[in-house]
Amino acid sequence: MSARHLAIASTILLMSSALAAAQDAKPTDPQIAHIAYTAGQIDIEAAQLALKKSKNKAVRSFAEDMVRDHTAVNDKALVLVKKLNVTPEDNATSKALQSQAKKEQAALSKLSGKAFDAAYAKNEVAYHKTVNGALEKTLIPSASNDELKDLLGTGLKIFQGHEEHAEHLAKEMK
């Protein structure tokens, strides 16, 4: 494992702990909405980086899927919070996610070619695993509004699909 890979792996570990922190104090609906939106935005930015850097067809089409799906989920979330009169509220978990994502983006930006493709695919598996775990264990059970709970539930199924898709991609990139 190279130093860069180590850096990426430790970044993901930190992200897991950021999301685990959300478990300690039960997040409120405005915080949950902010965390879920931020997590989606981070994956869109990673995909945009992949579209800028990768020439691999499978990687590019996966990245396009991520942009399309996460944009659709986040758009739906925006419509819902407006309808519910909920203002997404920034919080420690969202902040930790953002700062770790920045580091991850920086580490990925230094890679190119096959090394980039492999690292991106591996990251996507780990990232979706982390976010899905947080949705399942913390965010969905903590959500008090039924419509928010329902959207997060559908989001979870979509992202579980991404996780499986990313696993296939990571195997291909090995």
Kindly list the residues in this chain that would bind other proteins in the complex (CB under 8 A). 65, 68-69, 72-73, 76, 153-154, 157-158, 160-162, 164-165, 168
Q: Which is nearer to other proteins, 20 or 158 (CB)?
A: 158
d(CA 164, CA 14): 22
Query: Which of 9, 38, 1, 46 minimizes the C-alpha distance to 131?
Result: 38
Give the pair of three-digit tokens for residue 17.
């702990």
Q: Which is nearer to other proteins, 89 or 163 (CB)?
A: 163
Q: Which is nearer to other proteins, 84 or 158 (CB)?
A: 158
Q: Which sign, positive or negative, has the C-alpha torsion 23, 69, 159, 173?
A: negative
Rounded to a whole number of angstroms, the minimum distance from the CB of residue 165 to other proteins is 6
Burial call 20-50: b when 16+ CB within 10 Å, e when fewer: ebbeeeebebbbbbbbbbbbbbbbbbbbebb
Rounded to a whole number of angstroms, the minimum distance from the CB of residue 143 to other proteins is 16
Rounded to a whole number of angstroms, the minimum distance from the CB of residue 2 to other proteins is 30
What amino acid is encoded at 153 in this protein?
Answer: G
Looking up tokens 């982390």, which residue turns up? Answer: 130
Q: Which is nearer to other proteins, 34 or 128 (CB)?
A: 128
What amino acid is encoded at 115 in this protein?
Answer: A
Q: Which is nearer to other proteins, 107 or 122 (CB)?
A: 122
Rounded to a whole number of angstroms, the minimum distance from the CB of residue 119 to other proteins is 22
Rounded to a whole number of angstroms, the minimum distance from the CB of residue 58 to other proteins is 11
